[in-house]
Structure 1
Amino acid sequence: MNKRKSLTFVLLLVLVLSTILAACGSKKEEGGKGSGGDAKEKTLVYGRGADSVKLDPSAVTDGESLGVTKNIMETLINFGEGSTELVPGLAEKWETSKDGLTYTFELQKGVKFHDGSDFNAEAVVKNFDRWMNGNAESNPYFQSMFGGFKGEKNAVIKEVKADGDDQVVMTLNHAQAPFLKNLAMTPFAIASPTAFEKDAKGFEKNPVGTGPFKFVEWKRNDAITLEKNKDYWQKGLPKVDKLIFRSIPDNSARLNALTSGDIDIADGINPSDAASIEGNADLQLFKRPSLNVGYLGLTVTRKPFDDKKVRQAVNHAIDKKAIVEAFFEGQAEVAKNAMPPVIQGFNDEITDYEYDPEKAKKLLKESNYDGKEIELWAMPVPRPYMPDGQKIAEAIQKNLEDIGMKSKIVNYEWGTYLEKASKGEADAFLLGWTGDNGDADNFLYTLLDEDNIGSNNYTYFKNDKTHKILKQAQIEVDEDKRAALYKEAQEILHEEAPWVPLAYSTPLLAGNKNIKGFNPHPTGSDRFDTVEVE
């Protein structure tokens, strides 16, 4: 081969290899970086600390499941941007009877589910029939928010009927003050009856709604991929073509993925990383409005926490101020009640249990504590209300050791952790709650009332006085009187001490500078239909 032919061959070989490498690089970016790939397709990648449990919002209580389904399915009523103010959703308007027992909803017209079936009054009725005929295991939120299921004595909803194609009438057994706020919660999003009637069990892995994004694929413990609903009823939305929820359990690794451009938004930012993010011109820091509480739950049906004095001793034993300073670094305040101060009815007159190991030891001596080691369950994933469950558990373990209570830290995979804790299998467990609707009922009744044992009341705490107060607060329409009732309930809960409230946090997120229109919602479930990737 002469030199000219040899040179020509080499140049052609280089050109071919360059083309192949460029194509490979393009594929990598299209599947990962939001700013890369085909310029005509915009992808938004959201990095989070854990995978979803199920994608049927009515069947779960965890935020990672609800955060995904928020973008697939829609509720009759929405919350406003950055608030819990009620605004139209799949219902364009609604009316309430004077006695508070009848609600009439006018539905949006011309809306289709992702499978092409019609959204109409019949579809709404079928969703409610599905929930009302369920149970605490299959529909935990329904029990928590609506008192019980069809035919049960505490059930709030009596009947849901269609009045033509575009009107739904709901009749209640008794008035419920937060009824509309409850309907706006993500677990009560309207799903395609065609889909869940065809495959009830499979629906949790292949959800179908009317939302801005359609489900595409779920790779367990890796990524959930959604695509733009091109027939979405709200014109001009969503702004991106593909939405990917990527699971990256370690907070630092998630931030590194953001910095390298592999993801566009990172949830669960360590408070210690806030300053470096704010100082990085390529990134932006987001603060989610605080509507949460992180706590240590003490299961009252298990020894030694069946003794109130033991529970009070643990409250005195834990140095909450040190925990908040060490692990939240200025992005939280010490908690003293089971709901955050921003909720109407918060009792600020309650004096918190002071950190006093000697008082804790005295209470233990007066109690029936037998000195046996307890299990202390540490959350395996970062959550908005608890950035590092393992380290916080270790700090609590040392506090308990100082008063003579030995503990063994126990870990489970997130879905297993929630399932076992909900069955009352933990002695003491770390957990938390982000408010769903901005109402005190969503904290005190949902988490600590006997009606919700086995669903969201993991401590199995029950008290006749608080039960009576919380049920009365549900039907009281005067907001000042409701607030007074919730303050009274908090006094009893403080005395009975089924929890050690730890922190009210301001959750941090970060994003690339090219992200526009992202406003973290206080409920923790974000819609990404208005977010742009520039």
Structure 2
Amino acid sequence: MPTFHRYAAVVFVPEPDAFEKLGPDEFAQAPVGTGPFALEKWESNRATFKAFTGSWRKPKASRLEVLALPDATSRVQAIIAGRVDIAGGLGPEDIQALDAAGHQGVSWQDGGESAISLVTTRHLPFNDVRVRRALNHAVNRKPIIDVIMQGRTVAANQPAARAAYGYVAELPQYAYDPALAKKLLAEAGYAKGFKFVLETSVNSGASLSAYQQVAADLANVGVTMEIRSMPALQYMKNLFITCEYDDAIIVPWQSAPTIDVMRAINIHSCLSTKAWYCDSEAMPIIAAAMAEWDEAKGCALRQQLGRRYHEQAASIFLYEMVYFAGLSRNTSGFADNFGFVAYEDIVVSEK
């Protein structure tokens, strides 16, 4: 496997004797590892750990407690009240509240991209590349990035984020050009526009605001996008089990944790069991990229795919995914590296 070295770093290998003795269910409740903290107790909404001094990654803190708090507001309030030191899963609006209270807001990109995936494998209009290009030119990404995301990310225009193996630096952004969008729609036979449904599990926060901005931009060129939110479990079932989804869906172009664009491309290709986007002409390049052992040649093939996916406007590409977390004023050393937090580096000073 030419990309094994990218996957090897994210494969978790359990302690074989304990795993064989306990089995997967019991091992999950009493795991054995070499990390900086050892599990003490696992409950439905919390897990408590103590420092494991025998780890090769010795922790700076003596204890770790992980709490499940149901919404961003409660997590922000927990930091302000001094109940927690770190809160993940926040939005840009939460960062402002923490900064105003004298705490810290941090953000980072992780190799993924936010986009609206258009279902091209069923019927018109999205199997017409002119329509897909039109929608990309109809969207003004600047207010999404500058206002909604508070300038903490950049526009997306291809399958790969800047951090990913296979990113094409010279690809131009899709220009915001409503006149061109209308022209392309007219050429495709949609001078009067059309309607479609976007399905998502997002029902609040910055991501929903971004989709609402997209809907407003599309309305300016005569296209009506209805945003239909549903519970996450139902959404995932529709997407990957029953495949009962509508005209457009939210499926991130995620290269993490391998930071290889092929992870994103494979999902958005004919290789998917029930593909929503299938470009048969790209398949030989995909096969060649996955089989190529030479790093430089492999990168060139990935960049060839990036150019094709850009030219084909495979999705309405929006922005590189950005994540937000809050830290108490006494916390330092926190970093998220493509989904992995080095808890051993975190320091919480005396309050």
TM tier, shorter chain? 0.7 to 0.9
Counterpart of 1:467 in structure 2 is 283
Cα distance in 2, alignment partners of residues 299 and 204 from structure 1: 41
Choose from 383, 388, 391 the match for 2:209.
391
Cα distance in 2, alignment partners of residues 235 and 363 from structure 1: 56
Within the alignment, does 1:294 sit opposite 2:119 as a pair? no
Instruction: Please give the secondary structure, in 1, of the residue aligned with 2:42.
Output: strand
**Preserved CA contact (<8 Å) 2:130 2:185:** yes
Cα distance in 2, alignment partners of residues 503 and 466 from structure 1: 23
Cα distance in 1, alignment partners of residues 166 and 225 from structure 2: 35
Within the alignment, does 1:239 sit opposite 2:43 as a pair? no
Within the alignment, does 1:315 sit opposite 2:131 as a pair? no
Q: Based on CA coordinates, which of the two structures has the bigger radius of gyration?
A: 1
Structure 1 residues 450 and 478: alpha-carbon distance in aligned structure 2, compared to 1, 3 A threshold: same
Q: Deviations over 1:349-383 (max 9, x none)?
A: 3223222223223333333669663211244277x
How high is the TM-score relative to the length of structure 1? Answer: 0.56
Structure 1 residues 363 and 513: alpha-carbon distance in aligned structure 2, compared to 1, 3 A threshold: same
**Preserved CA contact (<8 Å) 1:265 1:510:** yes
Structure 1 residues 260 and 487: alpha-carbon distance in aligned structure 2, compared to 1, 3 A threshold: same
Query: 1:205: Cα distance to partner?
Result: 7.5
What's the Cα RMSD here? Answer: 3.3
Cα distance in 2, alignment partners of residues 389 and 311 from structure 1: 21
Structure 1 residues 512 and 449: alpha-carbon distance in aligned structure 2, compared to 1, 3 A threshold: same
Within the alignment, does 1:263 sit opposite 2:84 as a pair? yes
Quick one: which amino acid aligns to residue 212 of structure 2?
E
**Preserved CA contact (<8 Å) 1:379 1:390:** no
Choose from 36, 42, 52 the match for 1:217.
42
How high is the TM-score relative to the length of structure 2? Answer: 0.82
Q: Deviations over 1:421-480 (max 9, x none)?
A: 3336132123433621223333333x32332445xxxx6322233222233223333333
Structure 1 residues 463 and 218: alpha-carbon distance in aligned structure 2, compared to 1, 3 A threshold: farther
Q: Percent identity?
A: 21
* 5+ long unaligned stretches in structure 1: 1-174
Cα distance in 1, alignment partners of residues 54 and 234 from structure 2: 36
Within the alignment, does 1:415 sit opposite 2:227 as a pair? no
Query: 1:512: Cα distance to partner?
Result: 1.2
Quick one: which amino acid aligns to residue 363 of structure 1?
L
Query: 1:179: Cα distance to partner?
Result: 0.8
Residue correspondence of structure 1 range 50-449 to structure 2 within 5 A: 175-176=1-2, 178-185=3-10, 188-191=11-14, 206=29, 208-210=31-33, 211=35, 212-214=37-39, 216-219=41-44, 223-228=45-50, 233-234=55-56, 236-237=58-59, 239-250=61-72, 252-272=73-93, 274=95, 277-278=98-99, 281=102, 283-288=103-108, 290-303=110-123, 304-367=125-188, 373-380=195-202, 388-422=206-240, 423=243, 425-432=245-252, 433=254, 435-445=256-266, 447-449=267-269
**Preserved CA contact (<8 Å) 1:271 1:330:** no
Query: 1:289: Cα distance to partner?
Result: 5.0
Query: 1:411: Cα distance to partner?
Result: 1.0
**Preserved CA contact (<8 Å) 2:255 2:261:** no
Choose from 486, 502, 524 the match for 2:339.
524
Instruction: Please give the secondary structure, in 2, of the residue aligned with 1:292.
Output: strand
Instruction: Please give the secondary structure, in 1, of the residue aligned with 2:173.
Output: coil
Cα distance in 1, alignment partners of residues 245 and 20 from structure 2: 31
Instruction: Please give the secondary structure, in 2, of the residue aligned with 1:334.
Output: coil
Structure 1 residues 233 and 428: alpha-carbon distance in aligned structure 2, compared to 1, 3 A threshold: same
Structure 1 residues 416 and 525: alpha-carbon distance in aligned structure 2, compared to 1, 3 A threshold: farther
**Preserved CA contact (<8 Å) 1:381 1:414:** no
Aligned residues: 341
Instruction: Please give the secondary structure, in 2, of the residue aligned with 1:507.
Output: strand
Query: 1:182: Cα distance to partner?
Result: 0.9
Query: 1:204: Cα distance to partner?
Result: 11
Quick one: which amino acid aligns to residue 85 of structure 2?
D
**Preserved CA contact (<8 Å) 1:299 1:498:** no
**Preserved CA contact (<8 Å) 2:80 2:101:** no
Cα distance in 1, alignment partners of residues 259 and 132 from structure 2: 28
Q: Deviations over 1:291-338 (max 9, x none)?
A: 331111112224432332322222122222222122111101111112
Cα distance in 2, alignment partners of residues 444 and 388 from structure 1: 25
Cα distance in 2, alignment partners of residues 381 and 524 from structure 1: 23
Q: Deviations over 1:265-288 (max 9, x none)?
A: 12244335556645654x233343
Structure 1 residues 375 and 198: alpha-carbon distance in aligned structure 2, compared to 1, 3 A threshold: farther
